[in-house]
Amino acid sequence: MAGKTVTNGAARCGLNGAALDRPQQDKTGMGRVDLIGAGPGDPELLTLRALRLLQQADVVVHDRLVSAEVMACVPAHVRRIPVGKAAGFHPVPQEQINALLVELARSGLTVARLKGGDPTIFGRGGEEFEAVTHAGIPCDYIPGITAAQGAAASARFPLTHRGLATGLRHVTGHRARDAALDLDWASLADPQTTLAVYMGAANVAEIARELIRHGMPSDLPALAVSQASTPQEKRLLATLQDIAAALARKPLPTPVLFIIGHVAAMADDCDLPHESYRPEWRLVAHG
């Protein structure tokens, strides 16, 4: 990519050789933990602070959803510990991840806890922050671009737009241990608010059904996105009432993000189910 040089196996991603001073170690020999947002997958969407801390770290504890391209920004000599989860498969339980972060920092290491998207949005970053700070270890959040932002930018449409969407809400489409969804459907079923549903593939039929039952128009555009901002990105556009069936016919790799609302019709170059596409959407979307 333009503007990227490689030094010692780590992508500098535009820092142009700026000095990377290591963090000051605590006087007691205690290390620290930084909860870093890796963004949706494109390494050029990392913040400069995230990149700097990755290159200063002694160890990177990373999730499954962190892309290989982002991991390439970590220097080759830095220890890497994968702790990723998938739906129904948690090889390293959250409690063990919390304990690992504390153990590593107490041994004097600078720990980069690298999480896909933003660590404060459906990433359990709050639990890790509480565990680390409760142990008396310095810890900071380093924000990342969340999946909804990455998907919208990649497909070249806005999440809010005058006359189409006056608000934006992020909700989870999955509950721990497959518990029933207990979302406030009545408040979510607002056609003037863009709804970004994370991790909703398994429950998309229920989500669509409840939103429609509580007043959201059944023909509202709904966009499914997988692996946003990466070369493997896939999209599927349908109506709210048809999105579950469209996804069943052509499944996308999980996790799948759903963006529901008028602005979704503005997405560029979607793979559209022919029977669900309505050309008048683009006329509406552009006023």
Q: 278, exposed or middle or buried, with CB in 10 Å at 0-12, 13-18, 19+?
A: middle
Give the CATH number of domain 6-142; options: 3.20.20.20, 3.40.1010.10, 3.10.20.30, 3.20.20.70.
3.40.1010.10
* pLDDT per residue as tens, the chain (287 positions): 333 333 333 444 545 444 455 555 566 689 999 999 999 999 999 999 999 999 999 999 999 999 999 999 999 999 999 997 655 555 789 999 999 999 999 999 999 999 999 999 998 999 999 999 999 999 999 999 999 999 999 999 999 999 999 999 999 998 776 778 889 999 999 999 999 999 999 999 999 999 999 999 999 999 999 999 999 999 999 999 999 999 999 999 999 999 999 999 999 866 544 344 344 434 333 33
Q: Which helix (H) or strand (E) holds 95?
A: helix 94-106
| Residues identified as active-site | 63, 85, 199
CA atoms within 13 A on the CB side of 142: 23
Pairing of strands 193-198, 32-37: unpaired
Locate CATH 3.30.950.10 in the chain: 147-285
pLDDT tens digits for range 232-248: 999 999 999 999 999 99
Encoded amino acid at 31, one letter = G
Fold that domain 147-285 belongs to in CATH: 3.30.950
Q: What is the pLDDT of residue 258?
A: 98
Which residues, in sequence order, are bridge partners of residue 36?
114, 142
Q: pTM to 2 decimals?
A: 0.83
Contact 237, 261 (CB under 8 A): no
